[in-house]
Amino acid sequence: MTPQFFRNIALSLEFFVALAQCANLNYSGEAVTTRFWDCCKPSCAWDGKADVSKPVVSCSSDDKPTDAAAGTGCNGGLAFQCSNQQPWAVNDTLSYGFAGVFITPDLTRGGIEGAWCCACYQLDFTSEPLIGKSIIVQASNTAYDLRSTNRFSLAIPGGNTTSTNACAQQFGVSQSVFGNDMSGVSSKDDCQNLPEPLRDGCKWRFDWFKDASYPSAKFKRVVCPSDITAKTNCIRNDDKQLAGEKSSAASLTPTTSVMSTFAAVLIGLLSI
């Protein structure tokens, strides 16, 4: 056996291991979407939720980044969702944003928050009036209250408030300006009643999003755009692996020549 023969073995095996690892990350499926904005500290803002660069940043009542150990404003603490973690239009057919996520364990190999916190997903809408539009969201939060299906609860100011009064605590306004419990504000004009930092995201719901009621979507995991991670400071450590940058083998493509090489290696091994 020549040294080149053994190098071919190592490279081929490395390629197929990398290919299998990427396949484990690149899951996809169908999902329902909902909306929320409760001002609570995002679930993925706590330490230890996933293998990430750092947790999602949360903010104090003056919208300044706060310590990851700070308690949530929804339970008497001083940490809230930062106002810039709201959706925005990139163009007429693409938006960026953030979401509370639940993905069924059959897709994540049993993983829960550790599998999706700070991961990004492209949602291609499959129901009117959003067919032909997509949004890329980062999983900054979780959506545990519905576990029977894949779900992305889009973080939209004024989109769906709760009775915790965290938004009133954060901004020093009446909770009523955020609309009705479980539905939020009812018109674009109502967005003007929200605190100024939240108005653009509220208007996005009625403009780009066309005030859609829980549209369905097909989703797939994608590498997070830097414009999104700049707002959360959270990057999953497996994003490089997903992008094919973990090793030189991951930059290969499964061409006929690679497959032939791998087949030849196996035949060679069997003949030893």
Whether the per-residue pLDDT at 267 is higher than 50: the answer is: no
Q: Over the Cα atoms of the chain, what is R_g? A: 22
The pLDDT assigned to 2 comes to 57
Mean pLDDT for 165-186 is 89
Q: Of 38, 200, 238, 239, which is the active-site residue?
A: 38
Grade residue 260 by pLDDT with cuts at 50, 70 and 90: very low
Q: Is residue 206 part of a domain?
A: yes
Whether the per-residue pLDDT at 228 is higher than 50: the answer is: yes
Whether the per-residue pLDDT at 64 is higher than 50: the answer is: yes
Whether the per-residue pLDDT at 9 is higher than 70: the answer is: no
How many domains is the chain partitioned into structurally? 1
Selected residue with higher pLDDT from 86 and 250: 86
Token pair of 101 as six digits: 């996520």
Range of the structural domain that residue 172 is part of: 27-242
* Average pLDDT of the chain to the nearest whole number: 83
**pTM score, two decimals?**
0.81
42-46 long-range contacts (CB < 8 A, ≥24 apart) are: 42/81, 42/85, 42/98, 42/140, 42/141, 43/100, 43/113, 43/117, 43/140, 43/141, 43/142, 44/113, 44/117, 44/118, 44/139, 44/140, 44/141, 44/142, 44/234, 45/79, 45/140
Grade residue 108 by pLDDT with cuts at 50, 70 and 90: confident
Output the CA angle 135-140-144, nearest 5 degrees.
100
Mean pLDDT for 215-224 is 97
The pLDDT assigned to 1 comes to 55
Q: Give tens-digit pLDDT for 181-218.
A: 778 999 999 999 999 999 999 999 999 999 998 999 99
Q: Is residue 144 part of a domain?
A: yes
**Contact in structure between 52 and 229 (CB atoms under 8 Å):** no
Assess whether 63 carries a catalytic annotation.
no
Q: Is residue 9 part of a domain?
A: no
**Contact in structure between 88 and 157 (CB atoms under 8 Å):** no
Mean pLDDT for 237-247 is 78
Mean pLDDT for 19-34 is 72
* Adjacent-strand bridge partners of 40: 80
CATH number at residue 112: 2.40.40.10
Q: Is residue 77 part of a domain?
A: yes
Q: Is residue 106 part of a domain?
A: yes
Q: Is residue 18 part of a domain?
A: no
Token pair of 178 as six digits: 């955020």
Q: Is residue 263 part of a domain?
A: no
The pLDDT assigned to 181 comes to 79
